[in-house]
Amino acid sequence: MNGDVKKTAFLFPGQASQYVGMAGELYDGFEDVRNLFETASEILKYDLADVCFNGPEEKLKQTAYTQPAVFVHSCAVDLMLYKEGITPRAAAGHSLGEYSALVSSGALDFDIAMKAVAVRSRAMQEDCDNNPGTMAAVMGLDYDDVAGTLKSARGAVVPANYNSPGQVVIAGEIEAVDRACDLLKEKGARRTVPIAVGGAYHSSLMDNSSEKMRKFIMEELKLSPLRFPVYSNVSAGPVDDPERFRELLADQISNPVLWYPIIQNMYRDGIRRFIEIGPGKVLQGLVKRSLNFDDIELSGIDNRENLIDFLKENAEVESA
């Protein structure tokens, strides 16, 4: 990032960051953002802008709508930064957000990434409808303790997200998750919190969508060279080889999101400034809980006001 003394990473959110009205100010303020939404709507065969701006909330929460909404919102912010010459030294995306990160890196064009997200969101919606499941956040146990405990749990339930120290999200069949929460509390978890989601993401209940995405990625998704490394959900490490990332992306839905290890590795690699690109503040909260250091800068760009303020501050840095 020009003029920036701290090594910067862009972080791209996934599901659970959406809200009715998202990206509305960006759409009204910038023709390039309107063009992104028009392209997305042509690919999706419905008016994405209408869903983002007007909801209703229950519709926006459905996987088939949530994923395209969050993806396009993040790409819109990233595009406006890119047009001002602002790019990071590295990036990562939480689950769905990995596709936004790959667009930011130049590995994927927006159009082909939008097609991939369309396939992904519809396939995962089908799994949600056909294999009812849920997720819960487990507080106060580390990842290995949760994973070890779940081996003795009855039913389909697995670790899905390693989000921060002492926060692991589990996913699986509804009754299996409920039983696992009781078991984990017996093992020392401070509490367990149900998550209002449409299904059991990153679990065996998503096997059909995982296979559909693997087929799509291997047959139709060619990645270009990356302008900067993107940290993989599956490996938690930085990847700049397109073919290696394509293989990791194919494994993504069927593996847990290693978010806390990603943030640790970014800090290890010299990243000190983290900027969440897109709706909400979920990832900012996870970074805050993951890195308790005084040299960290943390911010987010969600709406037009955030963007204008950021561009003004960055111009001041460059001219200093």
How many degrees, rounded to 5, is the angle at CA 117 between CA 112 and CA 120? 130
Of 164, 202, 232, 290, which is the active-site residue?
202
- Cα–Cα distance, 124 to 145 (Å, whole number): 28
- The answer to whether the beta carbons of residues 19 and 26 sit under 8 Å apart is no
15, two tokens: 């599901």
Q: Which residues contact 71 (CB under 8 A, 6 or more apart)?
A: 96, 97, 99, 100, 113, 114, 117
Residue 270's Cβ-count burial label (10 Å; 0-12, 13-18, 19+) is: exposed
CB 159 within 8 A of CB 168: yes
265 touches 237 (CB < 8 A) = yes
Q: What distance in Å separates the CA atoms of residue 175 and residue 132, rounded to the nearest whole number?
A: 10
Q: Which of 51, 48, 53 is nearest to 35 (CA)?
A: 48
| Helix (H) and strand (E) counts in the chain | 14, 10
Active site residue 95: yes
Cis, peptide link before residue 56, omega less than 30° from 0: yes
- Map residue 22 onto helix, strand or coil: coil
Q: Is 73 a catalytic residue?
A: no
Q: Which of 41, 74, 95, 209 is catalytic?
A: 95
- Tell me which residues are annotated as active site: 95, 202
